[in-house]
Amino acid sequence: MGLHSLRFQLVDNEDSWAARRRQRRAGWLAETFPRLAEMSVLDLGGRVDTWLRAPVRPAHVHVVNLEPAPAEVPDWAEVDHADACELPSDITRRRYDLVFSNSVLEHVGGHERRLRFAAAVRTLADAHWVQTPYRYFPVEPHWLAPGMQFLPVRARTMVARHWPLAHSPAKSHEAAIAQVLWTELLDRSQLRHYFPDSTIRVERLAGLPKSLIAVRA
């Protein structure tokens, strides 16, 4: 209970250290795109709540996620239940000012699906902002487990099953291995491969690269 409370203080609380980092990143986004308040944004894998808390809210946000849509959606937003790697034609026919994605690329399911995700990002808007945790930061960010990403699958599954700092420890072996196999952190070479014409921005913690952001403004 004590360790899970520690996770709440570090990551999950709206006043947590991680929440402050997310707000700082939102500030970078607004600085990078000075017209953000006038833009139409496609958010792949995000949530409307992210934009409710943002220091600058776009004129229109279209959220695409595999999660069920919230019961209430503000008039400046729309939400679709869809796979960002296999977007339906009614979305691919549209154009946006900016495609945004935060901590999604590492969960889409392998190299071939990451290629499709990146192709959609580059096709649907001239500008994009795609953030993903950096593989070689010493602490795995989803479980807050030091070095977990470097372990064999069996060991990572054990961590996912029992590590007390996990957001929601898996209730079975099958659930744990699914979480592990659907989480694949990327390095700079990979992100550069998916977004060859983008600037790769590095977010640091204590001088160490913590996450990478592919930006085209």
The pLDDT tens digits of the residues spanning 89-139 come to 999 999 999 999 999 999 999 999 999 999 999 999 999 999 999 999 999
Each residue of 1-35: pLDDT tens digit? 455 555 555 565 566 556 677 788 889 999 999 99
Tell me the C-alpha distance between 137 and 147, whole Å.
8
Q: What pLDDT score was predicted for residue 69? A: 87
Each residue of 183-192: pLDDT tens digit? 999 999 999 9
Amino acid at 44: L
CATH code assigned to 2-142+184-216: 3.40.50.150
Report the run of H or E that residue 27 belongs to, with start and end.
Answer: helix 17-32
Q: What is the pTM of this model?
A: 0.91
Where exactly does CATH 3.40.50.150 map onto the chain? 2-142+184-216
Across the chain, mean pLDDT equals 92
Do 122 and 130 form a contact (C-beta atoms < 8 A)?
Answer: no
